[in-house]
Each structure stands twice: as structure tokens, then as C-alpha cells.
Structure 1
Amino acid sequence: MSLDHEKSNLAVTGSSELNLDVWMLRFAGLALPHVGDTSRYKDLCCLYNEYVRGLLDDNLEAVAFIIKMIGQLRQHVLSSVDVIFTILSQTALLFFYNHVNSDIVIVDEAVKSIESELWLIMAHFDPRAYVLVGDVV
């Protein structure tokens, strides 16, 4: 598989998975003053910028490292969230993250769901509160 093909797969996977990762990098960038050791984050940002510019097309080890580190950053961010906002069609993606423990889960399009779909969310996340949102059909 070529690296260009791999880039396009990353950009499309999981409803713009790579875009979500970039958002998390930016989020972590906003939190930099609150983080003690930022050297690993800064190194990851530099590598990611090189990746975006195509400078790492021949270095598959660096690309694999970037993907691994972004995955770890994603897990760290998701493990520290207090609120999850989701729609039922995207909830399956969250089941990959067993370490997500939030205080509040907000579910949009809840009116369009069947009761068993909501049970799955309630059993998986076990937060203090649920907010079910949706337009009456």
C-alpha cells in the first residue's frame, strides 16, 4: 500500500479520524501551560507538520510512530473528559475506548432510537447523568 493511499484512508476513517486527531493536538496545544513536560508533544507536532508537508513519505517508521503517538494522545484526552456528546450512529466508535469514564453523557437523536440502543450506551459508560436530546417525530 502506498503512503498516499494510507494518508487518504486515515483522512476518511471513522468520520475524519485524522481531523479529530488534529483537533486533539490543537486542544493539547491550548493546554500546554498546564502540562509539565511538553517536549514529547512538541516533538510530535514537528513530526506531524513534516508528515502533512509530505517530508516523511519515505520514512514509514516515522509515520507509524506518529500514528501510535496520536492514538496515545487520543486515549489520554478521552480518558480525561467530563462530558461525552454523541449521536447513536457514532456511539459504536466510542465502544473502542473502554477507559472513557465521563460524568455526563449527552445523546442526540435519542427520540429516533429504540430503547435497546440506549441501554447499550447506559451500560457501557455508567455516568452520573444522561441527557437525551431529540426532536419529536
Structure 2
Amino acid sequence: MPKDSGNRKPRGPRKQSSSDERRDRVRRVREQGLEMTFRCGRCEEKNLRCFVDTASGRCAGCISVHVECSLFVPEEEWEKVEGEERAKRLELARAEESVARAKRELLELEGRKQEFARRDLAVLKVQDQAQESEGSSQQSP
């Protein structure tokens, strides 16, 4: 006896399988024409053209075979590099501060050196004057 089809509810459109969804997404990405000037690791290795899906951050080739895509750098890597950059900027600022301090100290030493030279010149001038006055007083008698 045939089954009674009168009591059945009409089915809606059949849900796509995940494979079908991936194929559709790959087709859409390739049709959009967002071909990258550089390729992810997999596309580079397989010598494939690399079309990016900006929504997922993966390329069509990686989406189609359901693998990780190295096209976009993960957030953790960005944070790591930014942290390293901040540390280097701080290190550079400290080095520049140290250089500025050394330059200031050098200028202070040069100032002291000039002051010593002025004193020595003044002492020599006084000695010369004393010798001249002694010499002129000995010649007078």
C-alpha cells in the first residue's frame, strides 16, 4: 500500500551541505576578481592564483580544501610585532637620552677646559708682567 502523501508538509528548499557552501563561496570569491599581487603559502607552493575573500580572511584555494590560509597575519602576530616595536622605540628613546646626556656632559667638560685655559693664560700674563717689571727694575740702577 502506498504511503499517504496528503498529510505531508511541503519541504522547503534543501539546505546546502558544507561542501556545497564552500564551493559557492570559492566561486563567488573568484568571480569578484580580488586577485592578490602576492600569494598565501599554499597558493605559492602550488603555483595557484590567489583570490582573497576579505570577509573570511582566506583565499579561494584554501577555502575550497578547508585549510588554514596564511594570507592574513593572525591578530596575535600583529600584537607580538607591535609589542616588539614599542619595546624597540623605548630602547631607542633611552639610547637617545643617554647620547643627549653624554653630549651635555661633554659640553660641560669643554666649558671647564676653557675656564682652565683662561686661568692659565691669566697666570702666565701675570708672571710675564712680573718678569718684565723685575727686568725693568734691575736695568734702572
User: What's the TM-score once normalised by structure 2's chain length?
Assistant: 0.20
Rg comparison, structure with higher value: 2
